[in-house]
Amino acid sequence: MPPRGVLFAVLAVFLLAGCASAPPAVPVPAGSRIVVRLYDAQSRVELALANESYPEMADLYSRKRQDAALKLAPDRLVGELLYSLDEAGLDVWGRSGAPEAVKGGEGYLWVDTDGLQRVFPEPGARAPADERQAWSLVKLVMTEYYKHVGGLQVIDNPEGHDLFRDAR
């Protein structure tokens, strides 16, 4: 097995090569309800994207929330994300179900498409190498799409203002 740094470098090159040409446009019908969530158990970080025409999300950026993990993305981008996730391994390693089916403490990637749910639980150390590599690639794909979607939020976090105080 190559060193971990080499593995991630290879995955990054693969990801960048795949991003050189945009994934095919996957139609997402207006009004669809699509949410993609990535939970990284190591860092305890959750990222989530929903399609912007998701009816119940229309006023998402107008509501106070505890955090800004959920962002709205253009329907077309969500379609491309779903395609890219399947290409990265979700179609092979994902299974039907919700994240609650995942054992506590594990990370997961979860996709809910109009109530049809698939989850790709973080594989353990004894899982096949190709499954662990697919997990790493799925995380990279989700992170890449997520970071390019803006989301101005009203956050209900009273301690947040401490970041801007002079720390003399």
Side chain identity, residue 58: A
In the chain, the number of structural domains is 1
Per residue of the chain (168 residues), give pLDDT as tens.
455 554 455 455 455 555 556 677 678 888 889 999 999 888 888 999 999 989 888 777 677 777 778 899 999 999 999 999 999 999 999 999 888 766 666 899 999 999 999 999 999 889 999 999 999 999 999 999 999 888 766 556 666 666 566 555
In a domain, 163, yes or no: no
- Domain holding 119, by residue range, is 4-154
The pairing of strands 70-73 and 45-51 is parallel
Give pLDDT, residue 103.
61
The two structure tokens encoding residue 89: 């391994």
Max CA-CA distance within the chain? 54
Give pLDDT, residue 6.
47
In a domain, 161, yes or no: no
In a domain, 32, yes or no: yes
In a domain, 165, yes or no: no
Distance of CA 110 to the CA centre of its chain: 8
pTM (two decimals): 0.74
Give pLDDT, residue 57.
81
Distance CA 56, CA 50 (A): 10
